[in-house]
Amino acid sequence: VWPVRQPRPVTEKLPANHPLLTGQRVLDSLFPCVQGGTTAIPGAFGCGKTVISQALSKYSNSDVIIYVGCGERGNEMSEVLRDFPELTVEIDGVTESIMKRTALVANTSNMPVAAREASIYTGITLSEYFRDMGYNVSMMADSTSRWAEALREISGRLAEMPADSGYPAYLGARLASFYERAGRVKCLGNPDREGSVSIVGAVSPPGGDFSDPVTSATLGIVQ
């Protein structure tokens, strides 16, 4: 058992120099990303953030996909469960179901707030577990805005001093501690292994307002 809020130890961090191919030509050409990098997908409701996250899960060149449905609608998670088993990917020359390389962390909007707040940490710890095996992992967090709202609700119940828009003052630090766990690393132990964790976080600012605290903090962190 590993405490999910604590990063897994590594020997050293390496420069990220391999492209993360999304399978979407417009993204690969205009918004390139690397394996071990961080990416944000900000946008208002209905802009296609979940569609992009699911497309990345289906077609990217990662070895393992961790899909975290954090506070999203239940029908979106059921769509993932319905569509993914029908898709295939080639692993070591053998055609397998895409679910063979996918782990889902389902925490829909009707689930407890504390579980929603913990789901992001659960997903990134799962990603680090597979990274330590020497795999290139992509984690889709959909959506970090719902996670921040859960953080705000818990903070309010603890009677902590609210900051901008009622979010706790440590919102930026919590977001940074989550995104900083991405990267390409040399793993501990033998044999020598290198793995990476790429984080793709969807952000849903209310009304598409990019001055929202969660969006502005996220855009200041991701590279």
**3 in a structural domain:** no
88 is written with which tokens? Answer: 């295939």
**199 in a structural domain:** yes
What domain range includes position 87?
Answer: 12-221
**pLDDT for the residue 63:** 92
Give me the amino acid identity at 142: D
Helix axes 213-221, 144-157, angle to 10 degrees: 120
**1 in a structural domain:** no
**194 in a structural domain:** yes
**6 in a structural domain:** no
Average pLDDT score, the chain: 90
Looking at the predicted structure, is the pLDDT value of residue 147 above 80? yes
**pLDDT for the residue 110:** 87
- Residue 169: which CATH number? 3.40.50.300
Non-local (6+) Cβ contacts of 3 within 8 A are none
For the segment 187-219, what is each residue's pLDDT rounded down to a tens digit? 998 889 999 999 999 998 888 888 899 999 999
| Token pair 């859960």 in the structure block, residue | 150
* Number of domains the chain contains: 1
**151 in a structural domain:** yes
If one compares 91 and 106, the residue with the highest pLDDT of the two is 106
**62 in a structural domain:** yes
